[in-house]
Structure 1
């Protein structure tokens, strides 16, 4: 017996419906009925809805993304606020990310190790924060979007020690908020931001943008 092409296709579809592990439950489902969980398709809609109803903070989301995508910390030599080449390379990487989001403000926090008095270390930490801000401002970042805040000095070490520790001698750059008070980025301008980020993502990072880690001094 010969089957027509349409009958053969129908049999294939019906046979597929009996497979409990199939991806598509129905050939006739509306577009978008199947969500690809592995690729998290549809997450953007969920994210935007959460921002609109106030259950999720866009500032917190961007801060988390910045920390995940960019090295947020630069380190310093002992008793110094001078930026070495590794520090400048990290700050260039930060600037590349920051330029994609001109709506966002950033703070730079300065830290030291435990050697020296607390008062001296607070001043040193602030000098380090200001050095990072000054360099970022030379990379096309408007100074009004950058803030060197009160230094934590030696009070928040990464490595608990009373001796010299390069990993504690650092600045940390973080997202702090928006340039304008409570802007609604999910209006018509939101598409412009996403498009701008898409275009920028195709530009190669500057040479030397991936920093290396020196041994502790």
Structure 2
């Protein structure tokens, strides 16, 4: 009798498992459009297109070149968003580079050290990023190309210490993408960029005269 009940229980369990498998199969291979897209549809295609057209590789290469050729980071005094002479000199070099690539957007990230509240440090990081954007705009860079000011506040320290740390009080400028509909890139005229850079590489640059005007609060 016990053997019969055991066989019945195993049979019932097998049926339930089989039905569950069928339901999963139907959910995976149901009617087209029956599932809800979570926002990832088309991402693989867009990514492949960016690689095949050279757009993504161009952005990656230019980002590496920017970080190599100019100082992408400037530092700040404690509890300050004021640009000192060293910061302005670094931003002058950034501006010179950015002006050479009018088809490219840049993003400025603001950071702080770990002293103070998280909310205050997010605000301070944003003010630092905005100070950099204002300085670059004063050097002839369109604000439309300085895509967004982002504050990481105290969440991404270079040196993990609760004490004051100048290396953590910084902004970082990075290549973020292309200006939409810019003729040099989005219509495929990469030769224009190559030729421009070839000519520039053979042109002697004037000596750097240092920083320019001051920001409010300097």
Q: Same fold (TM over 0.5)?
A: yes
Give the structure 2 partner of residue 115 of structure 1.
Answer: 115
Counterparts in 2 of 1:157 and 1:197: CA distance versus 1, 3 Å = same
Shift of 1:182: 9.2
Deviates more, 1:139-148 or 1:102-111: 139-148
Question: Which has the greater radius of gyration?
Answer: 2
1:96-139 per-residue CA deviation (whole Å, 9 max, x = no partner) reads 11111000000000000001000000000000000000000011
Residue 204 in structure 1 maps to residue 209 in structure 2:
no
SS in structure 1 of the partner of residue 151 of structure 2: coil
SS in structure 2 of the partner of residue 174 of structure 1: strand
Q: When the two structures are superposed, what TM-score results if normalisation uses the length of structure 2?
A: 0.66
SS in structure 2 of the partner of residue 172 of structure 1: strand
CA contact (8 A) 1:74 1:90 kept: yes
1:140-160 per-residue CA deviation (whole Å, 9 max, x = no partner) reads 111110134230000000111
Q: Matched residues in 2 for 1:69 and 1:180: separation?
A: 25
Q: When the two structures are superposed, what TM-score results if normalisation uses the length of structure 1?
A: 0.67
Shift of 1:77: 0.4
Q: Matched residues in 2 for 1:200 and 1:53: separation?
A: 25
C-alpha RMSD of matched pairs (Å): 2.5
Give the structure 1 partner of residue 175 of structure 2.
Answer: 175
Shift of 1:198: 3.1
Give the structure 2 partner of residue 143 of structure 1.
Answer: 143
Give the structure 1 partner of residue 97 of structure 2.
Answer: 97
Q: Matched residues in 2 for 1:160 and 1:54: separation?
A: 38
Q: Matched residues in 1 for 2:53 and 2:103: separation?
A: 21
Give the structure 2 partner of residue 28 of structure 1.
Answer: none
Q: Matched residues in 2 for 1:109 and 1:92: separation?
A: 17
Q: Which runs of 5+ in 2 are unaligned?
A: 1-49, 212-218
Shift of 1:53: 5.8
Query: Which one has a larger percent helix, Structure 1 or Structure 2?
Result: 2
SS in structure 2 of the partner of residue 204 of structure 1: coil
CA contact (8 A) 2:111 2:171 kept: yes
Aligned pair count reads 160
CA contact (8 A) 1:129 1:148 kept: no
Q: Matched residues in 2 for 1:190 and 1:55: separation?
A: 10
1:10-60 per-residue CA deviation (whole Å, 9 max, x = no partner) reads xxxxxxxxxxxxxxxxxxxxxxxxxxxxxxxxxxxxxxxx95366963212
Q: Matched residues in 2 for 1:86 and 1:93: separation?
A: 11
Deviates more, 1:196-205 or 1:92-101: 196-205
Give the structure 2 partner of residue 75 of structure 1.
Answer: 75
Q: Which runs of 5+ in 1 are unaligned?
A: 1-49, 210-217
Q: Matched residues in 2 for 1:145 and 1:187: separation?
A: 19
